[in-house]
Every structure is written in structure tokens, then in C-alpha cells.
Chains A and B, each alone.
Chain A
Amino acid sequence: MDITKLTAVQTGRLIKDRELSVEECVNACMDSIEKQDGNYNCFVTLDREGALKQAKEVQMKIDANELTSPLAGVPCAIKDNMCTANLLTTCSSKILSNFVPTYTATAVEKLQDVGAVILGKTNMDEFAMGSTTETSYYGITKNPWDVTRVPGGSSGGSAAAVAACEIPFALGSDTGGSIRQPAAFCGVTGIKPTYGRVSRYGLIAYGSSLDQIGPLAKDVTDCAAVLEAICGHDKKDSTSAAGLDTDFMSALKDDVKGMKIGVPRDYFLSGIDEDVKKHVLAAAKTLEEKGAVVEEFDLGMVEYAIPAYYIIASAEASSNLERFDGVKYGYRTQSFTDLHNMYKKTRSEGFGPEVKRRIMLGSFVLSSGYFDAYYVKALKVKALIKQAFDRAFEKYDVILGPVAPTTALTIGESLSDPIKMYLGDVYTVSVNLSGLPGISLPCGYDSKGLPVGLQLLGKAFDEKSVLRAAYSFECAFAAERRLPNE
């Protein structure tokens, strides 16, 4: 048996049945990472020693029947923007290249509590700003389907590590598509939960009103199991919501009879690859054949989502990233003349070009004289986008569409043209602006053999409908499912 090909829940079951030891699983993943990661560069930090120590402790608890979660003993990886006590946390930035947190993010702590074993920290776009994992200070992560292509981003390391069977599941974060788009590019499954579903405490903020932590895994079942483990109200995060309806595993039913699914006509008008369009619409057909009521409709506001998103996210980022100043932690420039010069040099040397671009954009839209014209207007657009979704969800249980207009891009393709990269976020950012839950899962393969992602959206805090629709589709698609290099 190749342990690394198992899903997280399958691994957990075998550990529970004493067919596998936690240590065996950790070693299998570590070996897989060592064998492959030179090619893919999914990890910034590996912690074999810490993982083996955790494995021993978790095994003892499992043997004492103290851990009952389906994830007990299962290895995992964490995107490098979540704080892990005593383990380097860089945000893939030079400015945090020496930062070792004193505390652990709530979502990560919750995973540890149920017995998941953390093997390391995954690569990402610097401060989660990007859609390709090319802006990392620690080098580009490559797509396991084709190493000349990007894995998507910003959670590219997490997505590629799952796709390459280096790890059964990983945590990512999603501010404008950063879980869903790399899941699509890498042919894995990822959920962006409803805003407030998962505590943001310990997640190094990019756009605070949009950020959510979520799972990237091999299938819908794993995503449900991980989400169940990490969700819930946290008194340390004032924006986290009380636990409503969190038994996500119970939503995994291969049954969409009578479910009302809306397909936004305006998602397919222009700028979308024919291959992507074909597979996504075929997925809608599949669900219809299974008994769902599928209907096309006009969502509206689609063209305003990207400008609104980039204004709001950059504005928040410009403020969130002010704390990286060389005073308290992180990188500080070698030589400086005075305080102002120290700030300037530290930040000039410590941040990469994409981060600087967004800090400048964000500072501009918040500055006096422009605040109303940009930031306040963007907030109004955000409210209108939310209204458009609310209207749609009066009629539909789930909205179905593509995750991205294309499959994985080649390395370097979008770095030279940031606007093009931003436009690739057209189907994902409006979901963050509305705070809604969304799942991304594979629904086909294009002519180049690259995975195509399907996106299913739900009402706020109705992850269950999204999971049920996704699970049903996954059952129908099982025969076509592939791994990279197969």
C-alpha cells in the first residue's frame, strides 16, 4: 500500500484500526517530500523532528482512546502565513525570514488538538498577494501536473503538496481565491468557508475583512473533516461566528434531488477558455442528470468585483503590513542613518515588488482626497455585489461556475502583466467580498491534460449545501479522476 496515495480520512481510519502507525504515515510523507520537493518547492520549512515527536504523543493518545477525530494521527502542512509557536513563519517574505512566533494560530491549534501532525510550512505568494506562487522570497512553486506551469496562488505550496501526494491535506487561506484557484490549477479540492466560520487569530492578515482559512485536500470528504475540526467561534477573533451547523461530515450525501442550482450566464460571456467552459457546463449537466434543478440566470455586477476587491484588499493590506518595520521582529536593514531611514530601507529591502505595488495602491486609495472616490465607493460596490448574491440565493441553493477563466498558466506569463493576473480572479473575489462559502474541485481535464476547476457557492454559513452538491458531483466524476503523472 502506498500511504501517500490515501486521503486524509482513509489514513485516519487505518491509524484508528491500528493498520498504520502515526510514525509510519509521517515517515511516508516525509520521504515523499524529500523525493519530490526538489522539483516542486512546496515547502518553506520542514520539521521532521518536531513531527516525529508529535507523532509519538499522538500515537499514545490514540492508543489510550483519547483521540477520536477522523484526522487523529494524519500528517498535514500549514500555509506559511499562519503562526506556529517555535516554528519559522515567513509569509514567504524576506521581511519575516527570521520570524519565529511565540504563539500558534487558533485554526492550527485546533488541528493539533484533534491529533493532526504538522510536518511543515508551505510556500505561498509573498503575504498571500498573488495568484501564482511566483512572488515568494523562497522561490517559485511548480505545478506537479506540469513543472513549467504555476500551481496557482497564493496557497500554491499547499495545493501542489496535496496534488503531488507529499501530504494528505494542508491549510490554506483565501482572500480573493487563494484556496480555490490553486486547488483548481492543481486538481485538488479546497474550501473557502463563510467569513467568520474559522478564526483568523494567528493568520497574518492580508485583507482582514476578506481573509479566511480553509482546507486543501484530495477530496470533498477530507475538506469536510478538516473544516469540522478548525471551525467555530474564537473569543480571540471578534469577527468569528458562533458555531452553527458544523457537522459537515453529515452533509456528504450523494443526493441532489430537487436542489436548485443557478448558473450565472455572465460568467461565460468572454475571457473564458473554451475547455474550461465546456467542462464546467458539463458538470452542471451531470448534477441536473442526478436530479438537481439547474437554471441559467444573470448575476450582475460581475465586472465590478475586481476593481472593488483590489481597492479594499490593498487598503487593508497597506495598514496590516505597517507593523513590519524592523523595530520588533523580522528583517532589519544592515545600516541606516536614522529612524526614518531604517524604516525606509528595511521595507524597501524586505518587501517584494508585488507587495510594494499593493501597499502603494492601498495607501493611495486611503489618502485624504481620494478616500471617498476609491475606498468608500469600493465599499458601496461590495454591498451591491452582496445584494446581487442575496437575490440569487433567494432562488437557488447553490451557484455553479468556473473557478478561473483558464487552467494553470506557464511560469512567468502573468508576472510581466499584473493586470492580467488580477483579471484571472474574476470568479473568486466576489465570493470574498460577499463573505460566502465556496468550494473548488476538479471537473475535467483540458486538451493539455491540465485539471479544470468547478466552483460551487452557497449562502452564508450554508457550507452543507455546497458540500452536498460537491460530494454528489465528485461521486459522478470518480471514474475520470486522475493524479498528476498518471
Chain B
Amino acid sequence: MSKNYETVIGLEVHVELATKTKIFCGCSTAFGGAPNTHTCPVCTGMPGSLPVLNKGVVEKALSVGLATNCKIIQNCKFDRKNYFYPDNPQNYQISQLYYPICRDGKVEIEVNGNKKYVRIHEIHMEEDAGKLVHDPFTDSSLVDFNRSGVPLIEIVSEPDMRSADEVIAYLETLRETIQYLGASDCKLNEGSMRADVNLSVREAGSEEFGTRTETKNLNSFRAIARAIENETARQIDILESGGKVLQETRRWDDTKEYSYPMRSKEDAQDYRYFPDPDLPPLVISDEWLAEIRNAQPEFREAKKIRYKEEYDIPDYDIDIITGSKKMADLFEDTIRLGAAPKKVSNWLMVETMRLMKETNTDADHLTFSAENLAKLISLVEKKTINGTVAKEVFEIIFRENIDPEQYVEEKGLKTVTDTGALNQVIQKVIADNQKSVSDYLGGKEKAIGALVGQTMKAMQGKADPAEVNRIIKEELEKLRDQ
């Protein structure tokens, strides 16, 4: 490469909003379901049907807009985007072009300790399309309209990003914010968060933008990073060999790790946008906006500061726990049930993280309840079970969310508190393991471990190891005195 190039990236991010019903009808938004069971005349585009806006969609869009520092357009409108495709039952999509609900926002990102803002051009609301399913038996395509009318917001950034790292940081920030709001689960692999990458390259120091391409079909952060690298290299190659980058839409194939053109600017469709006459202008009153603003949750940065002050746990722990809304909720709920913050943090940081790694589970998919974790912590506190047993029980809680109190009872895992029985066993272990006894008395203090182990084994683990250790030490010291 003879020159230095700079990559310029802007993103269009689609986020499926987590409302129970669709944007313009009362049908369920639940994922899955037999084809065409979550449908009605409205979301299948039957003649004569009319859209009625779901207020919940507006509220979620507003909460995202406020969290990303946008200006709220209190008199916004819906427009029709006209194009023919069988998954689009009306052959127009109801979206917002002329007056989107939010404009001019910004999000702070951090890459390698450097902070910067990515500006948001706009956020608009729109409806999702259905899904085409190819039927190999009849060699025909079938349409499933369950997803038709599921609410989306599209977050359009300004071309403010300069590297794949910045793009990932921006997406992670958006995802975390939206998850904290409960506005969406933002799963890239399930399509509830989708990102299209607008990318161009230019000579470093140049003020003008190069010709950009748009890359679609990016289903993971890794795919996005790879596609950015690939597209940057492709465009630089073209420029280096004296060619011109074509303005076009490209589709990324993640298994083959390359993109190919879908359509050029010349075949770009004319969507003939115009205001949808079926939906009156949406007026967002000051009162309504204030209600949304007051209901905004505590975001990660605020949580971090509060955890430090209130719970006094290490920064590293705070960073991990607040990294996911789910984890932070679990943490706070368990504390609310009476568990000590440090204990809760330990369970999350050590055993939970270990099992998450082992089972390849991310924090958003944790299934155990705060109640059961709190009960477990309390069982240990009260010495009803010992630490080893607790770890075993936690693994079952992690996997099946069982009630630890009931489980310990049923499986007979309680620590034996009958000191008579324990003393008897200890006496026998001391008598049977004279070598270890003499080692200990001879100064090898570690030899006590073997005796504790033997005792725990004889007790089938149902003794408090610290207590066992204490009694054995006492007994051995008695021997020394004799």
C-alpha cells in the first residue's frame, strides 16, 4: 500500500422492540409459533384493514431516544415505503421518513481507553416483514406472516466510526443501553438486532468522503468485524489499482468470508414515500414525554458508582456484574432478599462464571432465580451445609433452578451437627492413622489434612470441614500434652 487510508463507517441498526403485541394490531410478537398463527387481517394486508398504532412501541422508541441523547420530534408522522415483495403483505412498509420520532442524538464509546462520541442521525419506528419459507417438496415459496408487523426501530448513525473496534464498541453500548431499558433483548443471532454497515475509505487527512457501500446480512459481532476488514481491503485494492468504488448494496457471506453485490445505485428502487393517510400525526405531549423520562432505569455508569459506594466490592466484579442487565438484576435482587453483597458477588464471579463458560451460556440466558441463590447463601451462613456441598447444589440450581432448601432436605445433605457421632468417627480416624498423627506431632502440620479428609469421607461429606479441622487439632494437641 503506497498511501495511508482511513475507513469511514456509519451504521443502520434495526432493533426489534419487546412489546407483547405488534405495532399496528393486537397480534402476539412471540418468536416461533406455527406459521401464520400470530396473524389477523391487519398484519396480513387484507383488503379494508387499517393500522392502529401500539402506544407501547412509541414509549419504547422514546426511551431509546432519550437514553441516546436524541431530540424528540413531538409531532412525528408515519410514511409508506412502497415496494413489492411477497413477505410484505401490503406491498408497502409503514415507516417514518419525513418526521422520524428522534433526531440528533449521540452515544459515548470507549476503545482502548479512548473515549469519543458517535452521533445518531435519527431513530424511526417501522414494521417488520414476514418470512419466506421455501418448500422443497412442491418447489414453491410459502409466506409466514407471524413476524409481519413486529415493531422495529432503526437507529441511523452519522459516519463517525473509523474502525471495526469502534463499530463493535458502538453496538455493544447500544445493546447494553437498550437491554437496560428492557426495550429489546438485542440478539444478533435471532435477528432482534441487525446492523447494516455503510463504509467508505479515503486518504488519511482528506476531508471528503469516498464512495460508500452498504453491507447487509451481518449476524454476529465477529461477522461485522470480518466484513469491515474485508470491505476496507476490497475498496483500498480498487482505489490502489486506479479503479472507482461503486455505490452499491453488498451481502456478506460469513462462511465464505466475502461479500457480493446485491444491487447497485442504478437499480435502487424508488420507494415513492408519502405520508400514510391511515395514521394521523403522532403527537407526543410534554406530559407523556416527562412520564417516559421519569421511568428511565438506572444505566450502567450510574450503577457502577452506586455499587462502589453501597456494596464496596472490587471494580473488576462491578464491571462484570453491570455488564449485563440480567446479572445486575440478579445481584440486586439477591441482596434485597437478605444476602451479603460480597457473598452474592462471589457466587456470581466464581461459580456462575465457571458454569457459564462450561455450558457456553451468556449472562442474558441465566435461568436461576435470586430467591434460590439467596436461600443457598443462607444455608451456608447457617452452616446447614458446607462449602463443598453448596457448590454441588449450586450447579443444580444453575442448571435447573431448584429450591436448595428442599433439595438439601431430600438428598440428606445437611451437615451432621451431632458432635457425639462426629467425635466417635474422629477417634477412630486418629486410631487408624498413626502415621499421620506422628507426622503432625513431629512438626508436619500439613499432615492434619489427611485426617480431616478421612473424617469427611467417613462422614460422607456431611460435616463442616472447619469444625472437623478444629476438633482434630484439639485432639492431636491433647496427645502432645500427654
Contact = CB atoms under 8 A, between A and B. Distances in A.
B84 A322 contact: yes
A323 B91 contact: yes
Given A202-B48, A328-B45, A367 B278 contact: no
B48 A375 contact: no
Contact of A323 (B45, B52, B277): B45
Interface range for A: 35 or more
B274 interface: yes
A236 B46 CA distance: 14
A336 interface: no
Nearest to B274: A366
A144 B41 CA distance: 38
Contacts of B143: 327-328
B191 interface: no
Contacts of A324: 47
Contacts of B173: none
A248 B46 CA distance: 33
Most chain A CB within 10 A, of B46, B47, B90, is at: B47
A205 interface: yes
Contacts of B91: 322-323, 325
A236 to B, nearest CB: 6
Contacts of B46: 83, 101-103, 328-329
B84 A325 contact: yes
Given A209-B277, A239-B280, A103 B47 contact: no
A348 interface: no
Contact of B82 (A89, A209, A319): A319
A343 interface: yes
Contact of B52 (A238, A316, A325): A238
Given A238-B50, A329-B46, A208 B84 contact: no
Nearest to A89: B47
Contacts of A304: none
A77 interface: no
Contacts of B279: 238-239
Contacts of B387: none
Contact of B274 (A91, A201, A236, A371): A371
B90 A366 contact: no
B151 interface: no
A83 B274 contact: no
Contacts of B84: 322, 325, 343
A387 B53 CA distance: 29
Contacts of B273: 366, 371
Contacts of B278: 205, 208, 238-239
Given A238-B53, A238-B279, A239-B278, A201 B48 contact: yes
Contacts of A239: 50, 277-280
Given A203-B48, A323-B91, A328-B89, A103 B274 contact: no
Interface string A354-394: 00000000010011100100010000000000000000000
Contact of A102 (B41, B80, B82): B41
B227 to A, nearest CB: 28
Nearest to A326: B86
B299 interface: no
Contacts of A328: 44-46, 89, 143
A422 interface: no
A363 B272 contact: yes
Given A82-B48, A235-B52, A328-B45, A319 B274 contact: yes
B47 A339 contact: no
A236 B272 contact: no
Nearest to B51: A238
B47 A322 contact: no
A237 B277 CA distance: 11
Contact of B48 (A205, A368, A371): A205
B270 interface: yes
B47 A367 contact: no
Given A102-B41, A238-B280, A316-B277, A83 B47 contact: yes
Interface string A241-277: 0000000000000000000000000000000000000
Interface on chain B toward A: helix, strand, loop, or mixed SS?
A: loop
A99 interface: yes
A440 B270 CA distance: 41
A368 B53 CA distance: 27
Interface in A187-215: 200-205, 207-209
Interface in A87-119: 89, 91, 96, 99, 101-103, 105
B398 interface: no
Interface on chain A toward B: helix, strand, loop, or mixed SS?
A: loop
Contacts of B264: none
Interface string B237-260: 000000000000000000000000
B367 interface: no
B49 interface: yes
Given A209-B277, A339-B86, A319 B80 contact: yes
A322 B90 contact: yes
B145 to A, nearest CB: 9
B92 interface: yes
A315 interface: yes
A101 to B, nearest CB: 7
Given A319-B80, A325-B84, A101 B48 contact: yes
A322 B82 contact: yes
Contacts of B92: 319, 322
Interface in B35-61: 41, 44-53
Most chain B CB within 10 A, of A315, A318, A319, A375, is at: A319
Most chain B CB within 10 A, of A91, A203, A323, is at: A323
Contact of B272 (A105, A201, A207, A319): A319
B86 A368 contact: no
B476 to A, nearest CB: 82
A208 B48 contact: no
Given A209-B277, A322-B91, A323-B90, A367 B272 contact: yes
Given A209-B277, A366-B272, A367-B270, A105 B47 contact: no
A324 B47 CA distance: 8
Contacts of B80: 319
Interface string B78-90: 0010101010011
Interface in B139-196: 143
Contact of A375 (B47, B51, B52, B274): B274
Interface string B391-404: 00000000000000
A327 B273 CA distance: 23
B277 A99 contact: no
Contacts of A363: 272
A315 B79 CA distance: 13
Contacts of A202: 48-49
Contacts of B274: 315-316, 319, 366, 371, 375
Nearest to A367: B270
Given A208-B277, A319-B82, A363-B272, A201 B49 contact: yes
Contacts of A375: 274
Nearest to B271: A368
B53 A103 contact: no
Interface string A320-357: 00111101110000000001000100000000000000
A207 B276 CA distance: 11
Contacts of B272: 318-319, 363, 366-368, 371
A363 B271 CA distance: 10
Contacts of B280: 238-239
9 contacts: A83-B47, A201-B49, A202-B48, A205-B47, A208-B278, A316-B274, A322-B90, A325-B86, A328-B44
Interface of B: 41, 44-53, 80, 82, 84, 86, 89-92, 143, 270, 272-274, 277-280
> 6 smallest A-B Cβ distances: which pairs?
A322-B91, A209-B277, A366-B272, A208-B277, A202-B48, A204-B47
Given A237-B50, A323-B89, 11 more contacts: A83-B47, A83-B48, A200-B50, A204-B48, A208-B277, A236-B50, A315-B274, A319-B272, A322-B90, A328-B143, A363-B272
